[in-house]
Structure 1
């Protein structure tokens, strides 16, 4: 028997074994619901702590003026900023401060026309946050835009509503499960890797700088 036939035979044998009986039940003994309510002070504090541990810069704001100031501050010296078409107008105006040029992303527009390699930053909203892991999830809605605009620019400023911060992953998945076909991007701090000689390098697979505004 040649090598190809041997591999296929083993695959057929493994598939046959897998069909001989019902699959073992998946254990569900992990924590599903956190001790504190979504968006509560302890949950927000845990989220901030995890994000800062990932080297993200976090601002917590309770009014629109503070949110706008935070967006402007976190964008820093960015000159060209891409924004999704559904970004709230107040956030758009904040991103345009200091003479910044805004480039609007629209699903009807070919992504190549945005010239993302020449864009300094992106501003988006988000769908949900997970405090236990410091993760932010985007699901491609109009206030978040397409995945590409959050992966190429060097800086990402993300607005996260405090009521959308869930204590656990299952609670967040329940929210995301309401629209399971939306494209999702899970963010846990700035993009980074330590694959080469265990030296941490940021900005490998996404933005090198992440700024988060926890709003209201």
Structure 2
């Protein structure tokens, strides 16, 4: 008996008592597992998010809505960025100071090729939700986030998270806010991998530098 036949035989045995017409949605799934680890105030949740983002080597900044445009401009300047991709739904006021600082703002268009995006210095986006317990930012290609490729090809990603509106404690809470039919990108720190000798290499499947701005108020 081959390995394939052995595995399929076990599957058939496990399904022997299942009616042929039964579908997965016909059977309720018990979901009484622990949803959140501990009890936190919104401020404590934001602090935990910042801590876990930093653990993943993301650069975390905290500000308010008034100072956000100047902070974005400062981050782009510190990175030496002369060009930045901007999704169509990103609030215009966020990029006002960067524009006045002579950063060329490029639209997210279907015609942009990978080579053209690779030549872009930075990308600035919003997010769909941020998960504190895992230090994860999730994008869903909404208008303020743009196409997935604009956050995977440029080397520098500035992501704005609204606190507390877009911050949840746990993955189960985050999933409740997401549409599974949308293209979801889950980001925990800058893109990185390690070889067999554990030499860390960043910028493999996305930007080398992830900067997350937590905007309160």
TM-score by length of 2: 0.85
Corresponding residue for 1:129? 130
- Check conservation: 1:95, 1:123, Cα contact below 8 A: no
Corresponding residue for 1:159? 160
Q: SS at 1:17's partner residue? A: helix
1:25 deviates by 9.0
Corresponding residue for 2:187? 187
Range that drifts further, 86-95 or 22-31: 22-31
Superposition RMSD in Å:
2.4
Corresponding residue for 2:117? 116
Residue pairs, 1:1-216, within 5 angstroms:
6=2, 9-21=5-17, 28=31, 30-33=33-36, 35-37=39-41, 40-64=42-66, 66-75=67-76, 76=78, 77-106=80-109, 109-112=110-113, 115-162=116-163, 163-176=165-178, 179-216=179-216
Q: Counterparts of 1:7 and 1:30 in 2: how far apart (Å)?
A: 34
1:118 deviates by 0.7
Q: Counterparts of 2:93 and 2:71 in 1: how far apart (Å)?
A: 12
1:74 deviates by 1.8
Can you give the 5+ residue segments of structure 2 that lack an aligned partner in the other structure?
19-23
Distance 1:198 1:27, change over 3 A: farther
Can you give the 5+ residue segments of structure 1 that lack an aligned partner in the other structure?
none
Q: Deviations over 1:1-25 (max 9, x none)?
A: 8xxxx45533542331231246999
Q: Deviations over 1:166-193 (max 9, x none)?
A: 01111111111xx221110000011111
Range that drifts further, 118-127 or 27-36: 27-36
Q: How many residues align?
A: 205
